Amino acid sequence: MRGRWALLVLVGVAMVSMWGFTPGLAGGGGGGGLYLDVDPSHPAYPAIKYLVNQGILKVSETGGEFRGDQPLLRYDGAIWLYRAMQHFPQGQPQVDIAGLESRLGDLQSQVSSLKSSLSSTANTVNGLRASVNSLTVQVNNLKAQGATNLSGRVQTNFLLAVTGVILGLGAVVAIVLGY
């Protein structure tokens, strides 16, 4: 029985060891065929993962290690650039002229609308300017008349304020005395 357990433990250790050394399964690889020496928390991890998924970088070519601290050889750079260029469509991209003309027409109508709105706003501003000038004249007239009436208003307001204070004190005394 002990021999069977020892054999099972030995097989388990061997499987874990093989899993740990298999590129793209353990360590920083995070699964999906990524490199063993690239930690998923590294800032370059998403870019490397994208390039591997696109087939530009191949894990099998480097024995499972990215070796990001090593200089890039021109040979490797040329291969990566060639693979990247395979993802671009051949020839010139087609431009939708009809769509652009339609958008240009929409923009022209918006500009015309903005011009008429601007003209209307200018007329409103001119009207407001005339109203402000009229109000300025009225304020100046009131200032001229107000100097004579002002002293009478101040006296009336003072008497009203003193009367309010006296009535308020009377109310407080009535409340305190219980009337």
Instruction: Determine, yes or no, domain membership for 144.
Output: no
Instruction: Determine, yes or no, domain membership for 26.
Output: yes
* pTM of the predicted model as reported, rounded to 2 decimal places: 0.34
Does 42 have pLDDT greater than 50?
yes
Whole domain around residue 70: which residue ranges? 2-85
Instruction: Determine, yes or no, domain membership for 143.
Output: no
Name the domain boundary from 85, 104, 120.
85
Distance CA 27, CA 59 (A): 14
Instruction: Determine, yes or no, domain membership for 63.
Output: yes
Number of structural domains (the chain) is 2
Distance CA 132, CA 171 (A): 47
Distance CA 143, CA 146 (A): 5
Greatest mean pLDDT range, 10-19, 31-40, 60-69, 73-82: 73-82
> Domain check: are 6 and 80 in the same one?
yes
Distance CA 105, CA 117 (A): 18
pLDDT tens, residue by residue, 130-151: 888 888 888 888 777 766 666 7
pLDDT tens, residue by residue, 83-93: 888 877 666 66
Does 170 have pLDDT greater than 50?
yes
